[in-house]
Amino acid sequence: MSQPLVFSRTENPKPASAEHRAKVLADPGFGNHFTDHMVTARWSAEQGWHDARLEPYHPIELDPATTVLHYGQAIFEGLKAYHQPDGSIASFRPSANASRFRASARRLAMPELPEEAFLDSLRELVSADSQWVPSEGESSLYLRPFMISTERSLGVNRPAGSYLYTLIASPAGSYFASGVKPVTVWLSREYVRASPGGTGAAKFAGNYAASFVAQRQAAEQGCDQVVWLDAVERRAVEEMGGMNLFFVFGSGADARLVTPELTGSLLPGITRSSLLRMGERLGLAVEERRITTDEWEEKALSGEITEVFACGTAAVITPVGRVKYSEGEFTIGDGTPGELTMRLREELTGIQYGRLPDPEGWMT
Ligand code: PMP
């Protein structure tokens, strides 16, 4: 084992003015404003992980021949820190993000950041920038760890020999400030996101780069989000652009929660795995299995599928109201947010904001 990483702290902090911070926190939106600091650490074949720092937020300078700019070895994570009723700040299942970050690194032939270093980096940044954690309604501090290759070389026949880990943070406002609104989704048959043996299960930058053309097509069709299908038959539902999908079969005490199984080409969402566990605790039948677009349409029309929702760190739980594809469209239930969807949303945000007990010890 290498030495634990110790983060050196800046001696020249450059905090934003209290006025600027107050203005941002009054209406943070998502992903456009950043806190005073960032964390970085470097990796090289000779030294392993080293040079870990907490520094003022600043641009990264890269040589034009840096490998990430050409061959795209870049992975990231996304999680949130929330104000708790006792005044502390806690994040939701950060060890799960640490573990997925290592899995993404393995798939992209990048070095794995040890869990302790990942968690320490979060603690360093959140404690330095604790004043940037918003406290209004369902707001939070979004944390964005990422890693890029930094070797200066155009050689394409091997992974890079050096890497930069960086953590930045961005205050995030309530996603649904004016109430939870169902989305309309587009079934993408022309484009695929990920294929068997590919990078779909990794939080790899290129997956997102490849998705924008379909997202634009969805917008042209009046839809909010793309639903990705399997690459081979384009029939099995996989996930959405930044969220996993759940289907509610039946209702009341007989409700069943179904989500597409992890095929290797969809992202194993942490919200997804948490909802499967919560569903079990609530006494619901939960199933991870293949579900096709034909089954979705048929059972939405027959009323067997009563609710559909998407889930992920950013929007927590988003109801799906309507589904469109090139030859048709259909509605889920009456198109309004379902009862179980809203109940699970209350349970999950209750744990995250410390309003409800946390039986699994998910908050850190
Ligand atoms: N699928 C994709 C493609 C995503 O980018 C995300 C966001 N990380 C998710 C699903 C949901 O994952 P999580 O619940 O861990 O945020």
pLDDT score, position 259: 98
User: 275 CA distance to ligand 1 centroid (A)?
Assistant: 13
Contacts for 231 with CB less than 8 Å, ≥ 6 apart: 192, 193, 194, 195, 196, 198, 265
- Whether 186 and 221 have beta carbons less than 8 Å apart is answered as yes
How high does pLDDT run on average in the chain? 95
Find tokens 């702290």 and name the residue. 9
Decide which of 245 and 15 is more confident. 245
User: 160 CA distance to ligand 1 centroid (A)?
Assistant: 26
pLDDT score, position 2: 58
- How far from 168 is each of 110, 129, 350, CA to CA, in Å? 20, 10, 26
pLDDT score, position 321: 97
What pTM does this model have?
Answer: 0.96
Query: How many whole angstroms separate alpha carbon 227 and alpha carbon 61?
Result: 36
Q: How far is CA 96 from the centre of its chain?
A: 12
Probe target for ligand 1 pocket from 267, 270, 271, 275, with the most ligand atoms within 8 Å of CB: 267
Mean pLDDT lowest for which of 48-57, 79-88, 140-149, 170-179? 170-179
Ligand 1, atom nearest to 207 Cα: 3
pLDDT score, position 142: 98
Query: How many whole angstroms separate alpha carbon 53 and alpha carbon 62?
Result: 18
Query: How many whole angstroms separate alpha carbon 119 and alpha carbon 136?
Result: 25
pLDDT score, position 41: 98
pLDDT score, position 8: 87
Sign (positive or negative) of CA dihedral 217, 194, 79, 39: negative
Query: How many whole angstroms separate alpha carbon 16 and alpha carbon 240?
Result: 36
User: 240 CA distance to ligand 1 centroid (A)?
Assistant: 9
Task: Flag whether pLDDT at 145 surpasses 50.
Answer: yes
What is the mean pLDDT of the segment spanning 141-168?
Answer: 97
pLDDT score, position 15: 85
Sign (positive or negative) of CA dihedral 38, 43, 44, 50: positive
Contacts for 27 with CB less than 8 Å, ≥ 6 apart: 173
Residues with CB under 6 A from ligand 1: 78, 239, 242-244, 267, 269-272, 312-313
Q: Give the model confidence (pLDDT) of 341-362 as tens digits.
A: 999 999 999 999 999 999 999 9
Q: pLDDT confidence of 1, banded at 50, 70, 90?
A: very low
- How far from 132 is each of 88, 110, 204, 286, CA to CA, in Å? 13, 31, 27, 38
Q: Give the model confidence (pLDDT) of 6-56 as tens digits.
A: 888 888 877 889 999 999 999 999 999 999 999 999 999 999 999 999 999
User: 20 CA distance to ligand 1 centroid (A)?
Assistant: 31
Smallest CA separation from ligand 1 atom 3, residue: 242
User: 267 CA distance to ligand 1 centroid (A)?
Assistant: 6
- Whether 33 and 25 have beta carbons less than 8 Å apart is answered as no
pLDDT score, position 253: 86
Probe target for ligand 1 pocket from 207, 212, 313, with the most ligand atoms within 8 Å of CB: 313
pLDDT score, position 78: 98
Q: pLDDT confidence of 179, banded at 50, 70, 90?
A: confident
User: 245 CA distance to ligand 1 centroid (A)?
Assistant: 10
Angle at 337 between CA 322 and CA 219, to 5 degrees: 35
Smallest CA separation from ligand 1 atom 9, residue: 243
User: 115 CA distance to ligand 1 centroid (A)?
Assistant: 19
ipTM higher than the 0.95 cut: yes
Ligand 1, atom nearest to 274 Cα: 14
Task: Flag whether pLDDT at 231 surpasses 50.
Answer: yes
pLDDT score, position 176: 72
- Whether 173 and 30 have beta carbons less than 8 Å apart is answered as yes
User: 326 CA distance to ligand 1 centroid (A)?
Assistant: 26
